Amino acid sequence: MSNEEQNKAEERIRSAFKERDWNEIKSADSWAIFKVMSEFVVGFEKLAKIGPCVSIFGSARTARDHDHYKMAEDIAAKLVRHGYGVITGGGPGIMEAGNKGAYSEGGKSVGLNIELPFEQFNNIYIDRDKLMTFDYFFVRKVMFIKYSQGFVVLPGGFGTMDEFFEALTLIQTNKIGKFPIVLVGKSYWEGLVAWIKSTLLTHAYINEEDLDLFCVVEDATEAVKVIDEFYTKYLLSPNF
């Protein structure tokens, strides 16, 4: 972290303890509310008619010559050939690979970009009319969930875990339908899955059936097969 970034981080901490008068609170919060509303409105308008799509999550740091990048590209291409569009976070790495795979097959390629101080910039494989840039993570996550009929999760860091557990929690609590969540790469995910079973399940913080809310596969063909088999039984529709 640079000195400038460190100073900004410290200023945010200090400002959290600063007492503000009512005019300051009202002014700042009112503008934030309007900004949030505008992001929801634009997102809903652009995504309302995109049709059945699958979200692909994964690290922004994955290099283009990495196996995970190639796998994400292959998964996206296969999904398009099977009739789905692809939604990603719009940035580099796995996100770029997902959009590239969809774009290469002439499918719908959606990018939900986010303003960040590093890593995040939109990739060139997103349909121009399906690129959105958000300031708020929570608005962006609503768009992922609302307009996806499945979630494919490749290896990634904190952001990927956040997206995985967000979808998992909403399905577990019946806030959205039981859409398929597919973790790709058994060696990457086996430690997390083992911990979920040995710790969360052992302490009864989840139920045995909650383990059925996601599955782990090894390659692109298996990932797409899970999505296809799920939708042989259900009609495609927005989540809420």
Q: Choose among 104, 66, 107: nearest CA to 85.
A: 107
pLDDT at residue 174 in the model:
95
* Residue pair 215/190 in contact by the 8 Å Cβ criterion: no
Q: What are the residue boundaries of the structural domains of the chain, listed by start?
A: 1-41, 49-230
* Residue pair 178/212 in contact by the 8 Å Cβ criterion: no
Residue 212 per-residue DSSP state: G
pLDDT at residue 118 in the model:
63
pLDDT at residue 176 in the model:
92
Side chain identity at residue 178, one-letter code: K
Compute the average pLDDT of residues 181-195.
98
pLDDT at residue 24 in the model:
62
Question: Chain centroid to CA 105: how far?
Answer: 21
Residue that the structure tokens 């309007």 belong to? 34
Could you tell me the pLDDT band of residue 237, with boundaries at 50, 70 and 90? very low
pLDDT at residue 27 in the model:
64
Residue 154 burial by CB count (10 A; 0-12/13-18/19+): exposed, middle or buried? buried
pLDDT score of 142 more than 60: yes
**pLDDT digit string, tens, across residues 80-127:** 999 999 999 999 999 999 999 999 999 999 999 998 766 568 899 999
pLDDT at residue 29 in the model:
75
DSSP 35-93: HHHHHHHHHHHHHTT--SEEEEE--TT--TTSHHHHHHHHHHHHHHHTT-EEEE-SSST
Residues 6+ apart with CB under 8 A from 117: 5
Q: Is the dihedral of CA 68, 72, 77, 81 positive or negative?
A: positive
| Mean pLDDT computed over every residue of the chain | 89
How far apart CA 77 and CA 99 sit, in angstroms, is 9
**pLDDT digit string, tens, across residues 14-42:** 665 566 665 665 566 788 899 999 999 99
How far apart CA 168 and CA 210 sit, in angstroms, is 9
pLDDT score of 222 more than 60: yes
Residue that the structure tokens 């400002």 belong to? 15
How far apart CA 225 and CA 185 sit, in angstroms, is 15
Q: Please determine, looking at this structure, whether the domain spanning 49-230 carries the CATH number 3.40.50.450.
A: yes
pLDDT at residue 122 in the model:
87
What's this model's pTM, rounded to 2 decimal places? 0.86
Side chain identity at residue 149, one-letter code: Q
Compute the average pLDDT of residues 61-72.
97
Residue that the structure tokens 């009202």 belong to? 26
Coil, strand, or helix at residue 97? helix
